[in-house]
Amino acid sequence: MQTLFDQQGEERSVLSLIVREALRSGVEDIGIVVWPGDEEPYAELLADEVAELTFLPQCQPRGYADAVFCAREFVGDQPFLHCVGDHIYDISSPGSGAHRLVEVAKAEECAVSSVQISRESALPHYGVVGGQRIVGKPDIYRIDTVLEKPTPTQAEQQLIVPGLRSGQYLCFHGMHVLTPTIFSILDDLLHQRENEGVSLSTALAELARREQYLALVQKSRRYDVGVKYGLFHAQLALALSGQDRDEVLTELVNTLAQRTTKAEDGATR
């Protein structure tokens, strides 16, 4: 239930910002996977949001893939937008975000995941895809391979994408439009590996083998609030793109100047 201040200087929960991003894409019904008993505090966090919310219980701590599977009945037989619960986005770039992702999924009539061109240092944090760029569509790739948090060696051997610079990869951006096929795949994997962890990336790799599955390179930056300094980076990005930008910049400059002065004083003693 982390909170920060949005571009208008209003305090918001991370979940509220994720819900707003989904609403901007045209989604009307939103399902939120929660631990049983947590429905009320989450509902309070979202009391100001104009959205049709349904809380979906995850009754066993079986991980991320199982959490997605918990939405099976809620989703039914329709494609759906899935947003991870610990990412927020800088949507100041035009033609980006969940709205753009949904547009592409509708046009291509298939599953599409948002990705971001990332350096090798990001590999330990995200799922990564490999594939081929679609001719005439420079920001869209046909996915052939998906690996969860690959090593640099694995990425170099299995996830090379023609057209990207050496050491750059297509890392997941935290948003996916998926088809109902993902639920039958997850059902099989969760039963086969009942006592083991199942990653969503494993299911997405199988999805790529069964049907067309695309990646859309997003221009907007994602901020993972679940990593070290992630919430700080997200807050700074929101502040610098909001109405208090000048005030925040001034304070940053003053802080840096004070630290520089202290360092110089210390060096001359």
The CATH number of residue 102's host domain is: 3.90.550.10
In a domain? residue 259: yes
**Residue 182, CB-side half-sphere exposure with 13 Å CA sphere:** 34
Cite the beta strand spans of 84-150 per DSSP E.
Answer: 87-90, 111-119, 127-134, 137-148
In a domain? residue 15: no
According to DSSP, the residues that pair with 204 across neighbouring strands are none
In a domain? residue 173: yes
Which residue would you say has higher pLDDT here, 259 or 36?
36
The residue length of the chain stands at: 269
Residue 262 confidence class, pLDDT cut points 50, 70, 90:
low
Distances (CA, A) of 241 to 93, 189, 199, 224: 11, 42, 34, 17
In a domain? residue 196: yes
In sequence order, what DSSP letters do the residues of 105-116 get, joined into one string? HHHHTSEEEEEE
Domain count, the chain: 1
Of 134, 90, 104, 78, nearest to 25 by C-alpha is 104
Kindly state the average pLDDT of the residues 223-227: 87
pTM to 2 decimal places: 0.88
Q: Which two tokens stand for residue 61?
A: 């701590």
Alpha helices (H) along the chain: 14-24, 39-45, 64-69, 72-75, 98-108, 152-158, 181-192, 200-210, 230-240, 245-267
Q: Are 8 and 245 in contact (CB under 8 A)?
A: no
pLDDT tens figures, 57-90: 999 888 999 999 999 999 999 999 999 988 888 7
In a domain? residue 66: no
What amino acid occupies position 45?
L
Estimate to the nearest angstrom the gap between the alpha carbon of 86 and the chain centroid.
7
What amino acid occupies position 196?
E
Rounded Cα–Cα distance for residues 215 and 112 (Å): 5
Pairing between β-strand 137-148 and β-strand 213-217 as defined by DSSP bridges: antiparallel
Range of the domain at 166: 75-267
Residue 228 confidence class, pLDDT cut points 50, 70, 90:
confident
pLDDT tens figures, 104-125: 999 999 999 999 999 999 999 9
In a domain? residue 3: no
In a domain? residue 12: no
In a domain? residue 54: no
Q: Quick one: 97 exposed, middle or buried, by C-beta within 10 A (0-12, 13-18, 19+)?
A: buried
Rounded Cα–Cα distance for residues 18 and 50 (Å): 13
Residue 91 has a pLDDT of 63
Instruction: Specify the 3-state DSSP secondary structure of 20.
Output: helix
Please compute Rg for the chain using Cα positions: 20
Lowest pLDDT segment from 42-51, 127-136, 169-178, 203-212: 42-51
8-state DSSP, 28: -
Instruction: Specify the 3-state DSSP secondary structure of 168.
Output: strand
